[in-house]
């Protein structure tokens, strides 16, 4: 275990002794939360995973990574300041990673108020709970490239202005600025990662990339013939999620808190994703993809591509997985899942 992974705590006999760092990861049942939890566990952290109670606890991502029994699950609700304060006082984490959100853009148009309350105001509630109960803890906020929205400059970096085009993007911008405000006003070690699109086999099926990879697997196995999508011309900067959580951790190891764009610097269209996904199983995408206006956003974000040169310079972070390899990994994982389900 490295020096960065251990902290000193007082011994009742007057000596100091090392203990494993403790991290609280909100949204631990999501894609990024699960990968980050595994990454921290591998570094020797004690990991507490915050989750919002629902009718059924969805642990499939933690199960797939074989870490369910190693994460200490904590009911944690960004709508409830009292709940957050109690968990912080009991767990006393050295690092807090806020990955919880209502994170599906399309849903944010249908539920703008709850999206703003969870994804925006929830960040301010959590920061204030930290300020009052555990101000020495280091804080990471999951910001989003959706904050840029209607871009006028390419690529986008930390200084590019925001023009969000959805309630989700607007809420993320509020959370981002709140993080900057608490850092500058109260001296908190609070950093934001402005993450561009990052995917994996653990992506939710409501997101277009996983919708495509799962459809390809089902078509490959003869269970469906077509997939219905929206804007095939939308272009995004797609990276591999397990690599992006490494950047999150690196931000909190810096002496000075700051904000960082995390991206590949390469832009591909949804059409490109379809072509690569179907090619992974030897199919021509054009015979299986149809478009439906019902899948379009009320306000589209046409092009996003990030400049992560600051993350490379300060954190030493660079993406390692190519676009083609990312798509192949997602398709192969879904092909295997569908095969298991057919048995």
User: Of 108, 144, 166, 200, which residue is the catalytic one?
Assistant: 144
Pairing of strands 235-236, 259-262: unpaired
Q: Catalytic one among 35, 168, 182, 260?
A: 168
Distance from C-alpha of 193 to C-alpha of 335, rounded to nearest angstrom:
32
**Taken in order 33, 306, 259, 309, is the CA torsion positive or negative?**
positive
Dig out the tokens for 121 from the structure. 């105001």
**What are the angstrom distances between the C-alpha of 320 and each of 142, 155, 242?**
21, 19, 10
CB-CB contact of 210 with 203 (8 Å): yes
Tokens of 112: 């703008």
Alpha-carbon dihedral 19, 73, 127, 137, rounded to 10 degrees: 0
- Cβ atoms within 10 Å, residue 251: 27
Q: Is 144 noted as a catalytic residue in this protein? A: yes
- Give yes or no: 97 in active site: no
Q: What are the tokens at 308?
A: 């992560």
Q: Could you give the C-alpha distances from 250 to 36, 83, 148, 319, in angstroms and in order? A: 12, 28, 23, 14
**8 Å CB contact between 82 and 128:** no
Catalytic residue among 74, 146, 199, 243: 146
Pairing outcome for strands 6-10 and 16-20: antiparallel
Enzyme catalytic residues: 144, 146, 168
């Amino acid at each position: 275990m490295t020096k960065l992974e251990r902290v000193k705590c007082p011994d009742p006999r007057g000596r100091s002794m090392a203990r494993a760092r403790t991290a609280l990861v909100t949204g631990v049942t999501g894609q990024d939360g699960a990968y980050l939890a595994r990454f921290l566990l591998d570094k020797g952290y004690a990991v507490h995973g915050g989750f919002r109670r629902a009718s059924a606890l969805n642990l499939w991502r933690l199960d797939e990574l074989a870490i369910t029994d190693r994460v200490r699950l904590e009911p944690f609700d960004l709508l409830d300041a009292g709940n957050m304060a109690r968990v912080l006082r009991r767990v006393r984490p050295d690092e807090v990673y806020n990955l919880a959100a209502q994170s599906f853009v399309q849903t944010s148009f249908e539920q703008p108020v709850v999206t703003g309350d969870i994804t925006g105001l929830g960040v301010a509630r959590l920061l204030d709970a930290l300020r009052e109960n555990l101000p020495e803890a280091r804080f990471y906020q999951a910001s989003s490239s959706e904050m840029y929205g209607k871009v006028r400059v390419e690529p986008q970096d930390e200084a590019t202005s925001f023009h969000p085009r959805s309630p989700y993007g607007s809420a993320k911008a509020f959370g981002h600025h709140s993080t900057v405000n608490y850092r500058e006003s109260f001296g908190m070690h609070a950093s934001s990662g402005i993450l561009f699109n990052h995917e994996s086999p653990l992506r939710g099926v409501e997101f277009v990339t996983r919708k495509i990879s799962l459809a390809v697997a089902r078509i490959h196995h003869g269970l469906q013939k077509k997939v219905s999508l929206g804007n095939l011309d939308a272009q995004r900067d797609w990276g591999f999620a397990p690599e992006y959580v490494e950047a999150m951790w690196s931000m909190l190891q810096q002496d000075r808190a700051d904000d960082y764009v995390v991206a590949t610097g390469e832009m591909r269209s949804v059409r490109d994703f379809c072509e690569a996904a179907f090619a992974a199983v030897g199919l021509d995408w054009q015979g299986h993809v149809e478009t439906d206006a019902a899948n379009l956003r009320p306000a589209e974000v046409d092009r996003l591509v990030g400049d992560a040169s600051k993350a490379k310079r300060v954190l030493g972070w660079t993406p390692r997985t190519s676009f083609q390899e990312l798509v192949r990994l997602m398709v192969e994982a879904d092909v295997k899942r569908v095969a298991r389900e057919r048995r």
